[in-house]
Amino acid sequence: MSSAIGSDSPLRRLGIDVLLMVLDELRAQRALRPFSATCRYVLSLSKPLLFRSWRMTDTFPFEKYSHWFPAHVRPHVRLLSILDGCLDRRSCIDQYEDMKSTNNRHHVCGSLGPVLFERVLGDAPQLYSLTITGRGPAMHGMTWAALKVILSTPHLRELKISRGMLLCARLSAADVEDMRTTDSLAPLSELIYEVDSSEVSESFPAEMQVLTAILPKLAESLTALVLPGTRAPLHIIRGTRWPNLREFALRSKHWDVTVPPRPYASLVAQMPNLRSLTLELTPPASNEDVFVRPIGYTAGDRLQWPALEHLTISHPHPDDAIYEHLHPTLRSLSLRCWPPLVMVSWPYRTEDRLRTSSQMLHILLKCATSVHNLTSLHIEYEMDDEEIALLSHIASAFPHMIELQIHRIRPLATTDASANTNTNTVIASMVGECLAPLAQLRTLRVHMKFDDVPKRHPARRGWMYFRRDELWDFVQGTLKEAATMLARSLAHSVESVALLDPESSWRRFLVRDESSGSRAERKVTYDDAYYLQQSLPNQLIFY
Summarised one tens digit per residue, pLDDT across range 26-73 is 777 777 777 777 777 777 777 777 788 888 876 566 667 777 888 888
- Predicted structure pTM score: 0.84
Does residue 103 surpass a pLDDT of 50?
no
* Average pLDDT across the chain, whole number: 81
Rounded mean pLDDT, 133-152: 84
- CATH fold for the domain made of 51-254: 3.80.10
Residues ≥6 apart with Cβ < 8 Å to 391: 406, 431, 434, 435
**Stretch 117-129: mean pLDDT:** 92
**pLDDT attached to residue 421:** 40
The answer to whether residue 85 scores a pLDDT higher than 80 is: no
**250 in Cβ contact with 227 (< 8 Å):** yes
Give the three-class secondary structure for 61: coil
Phi-psi region of 220 (alpha: psi -120 to 50; beta: other; left: phi over 0): alpha
CA gap 487, 499 in Å, rounded: 12
pLDDT of residue 534: 45
Query: What's the one-letter identity of residue 316?
Result: P
Residue of 86 and 322 predicted with greater confidence: 322
230: left (phi over 0), alpha (psi -120 to 50) or beta: alpha
**Separation between Cα atoms, residue 543 and residue 451, nearest integer Å:** 9
Contact 487, 506 (CB under 8 A): no
Phi, psi dihedral angles at 18 (to 5 degrees): -70, -45
User: Where are the chain's structural domains?
Assistant: 1-49, 51-254
Question: Which pLDDT score is estimated for 255?
Answer: 54
| 3-class secondary-structure state, position 19 | helix
Say what the pLDDT of residue 185 is: 93
pLDDT value of position 415: 45
Mean pLDDT within 282-310: 73
CA-to-CA distance for 473 and 471, rounded, in angstroms? 5
Across the range 108-112, mean pLDDT stands at: 79
Number of CB atoms found within 10 A of residue 123's CB = 15
β 165-170/158-163 pair status: unpaired
